[in-house]
Chain A
């Protein structure tokens, strides 16, 4: 039988160390909503999502109540809209209308975000992919909770550089379109390489075409729990360090697994995967950077950071894989800047640069995340940063992503406030040298050789 010390340990994790289930994400296929009439299509989408997700928030809250564990977000992901809208949409404005429908239904069922305003263009773009991408600034500036993601490359296909160049421009236009809100639209736009079909985390969640009609995916969290556990093994060697992370990740993941199974049972929707990511929030003590500090680097970004992050990420997976029957999604440590107080401190102390962040993304998911850059950064420079990050994903057979926010009207030294889980960020300097000629070549970067690894 459970003893009092175990009960106290669990409750301390929840009450003092910010242990929570970060998200229950309900994936819904919209393939059966397709219609060549736009109004009919929007009605179909609204009705299917409403019917499937109407009890999601209530069920999530009830589970949270019964187990005494906060479930921070309830979200929906849908089939990439470029596939769904292709038959009905004749212009970017038509696609934006679908975005508004998604926004409306997401608010009606009370979820925090809805993801899947997406296109998968890792090799080429169809007309409808292109229209959807062009509609992103409009869609994200006229909706509140819609999230967009574009997959522009993969290990199997290479990188679609036409899409990368276009996305450089679209990120900038989205920033312009939402400049009254400190370019917040860009916080809801992710550019991926090797995007997974079952990621429950926003802004990159979508319901892939390989998925069932509906599915429950759960993202766990708990950087604070790992940090607290590591405080007890200060000065110990790497073996002890790794064991501690692994055991803690196991416990955290088991809670996610339990919540996922309960949600699946109560909603009558199959359980998909647990995403084993350490997801920080701006709350004090809920930081991945603080774990790195506890492992032994003065600030995230100091020499040793990449190695520390690599071991952290790997141990989290080792502990988590045993705790859950199905693991998927992104599964790695997130290193967003604005959403992690320790990262913000590291940037402000001058310890962490964009280049070091790029190196860190080689050993953890998911990429250059929530990084505010000067509003006057050129489109091609943004495209160049995207291309670099996509190349890391392509060559290393992993998911990488870019979520940059060029804050219109602001420059290095200023800060930008997004509020809530998105936090605030100091604007980071970007390398000033040009990559115009590289980005403007057009075409694609071929898929890499899968042998001769070095």
Chain B
């Protein structure tokens, strides 16, 4: 398992999840969990994905999602799960 956290932050519009999921499906990246919330008026979505099935490099996926986000006016970030684990789990 090679877990990555994808976060999407921005104004809510139609089709954000669809676009991200389409890209992930095409890249053979499996979604393990999705959750969303509104923080200070902004749409926040978090996905936990497993990157072990994809042939794409981490940087490629991160770049692709970033530009996909720019296209729909949201900020999409990819980060490896360990940073959150190490910060929030003893």
Contact = CB atoms under 8 A, between A and B. Distances in A.
A7 interface: yes
A258 B82 contact: yes
Interface in A1-39: 1-11
A68 B83 contact: yes
Nearest to B81: A2
Contact of B59 (A1, A6, A7, A65): A65
A257 B5 CA distance: 19
Given A2-B48, A68-B77, A7 B84 contact: yes
Contacts of B7: 7-8, 11
A433 interface: no
Contacts of B80: 66-67
A258 B86 contact: yes
A431 B7 CA distance: 55
Interface residues of A, number: 22
B26 interface: no
B82 A7 contact: no
Nearest to A258: B86
A251 B88 contact: yes
Interface in B6-48: 7, 32-33, 35-37, 39, 44, 46, 48
Contact of A258 (B32, B44, B46, B83): B83
A374 B9 CA distance: 50
A123 interface: no
A7 B49 CA distance: 14
B77 A11 contact: yes
A69 interface: yes
| Contact count band on B | 20 to 34
A11 B39 CA distance: 12
Contact of A69 (B5, B78, B83): B83
A316 interface: no
A3 B86 contact: no
Contact of B79 (A5, A6, A66): A66
A9 B83 CA distance: 12
B35 A66 contact: no
B5 to A, nearest CB: 6
A236 to B, nearest CB: 23
Interface in B52-79: 58-59, 62, 77-79
Interface in A37-80: 62, 65-69
Contacts of B48: 1-2
Interface in A123-137: none
B86 A255 contact: yes
Q: Which 3 A-B pairs have the closest CB atoms?
A: A68-B79, A67-B83, A254-B86
Interface of A: 1-11, 62, 65-69, 251, 254-255, 257-258
7 contacts: A2-B48, A10-B83, A10-B84, A67-B80, A68-B79, A254-B86, A257-B86
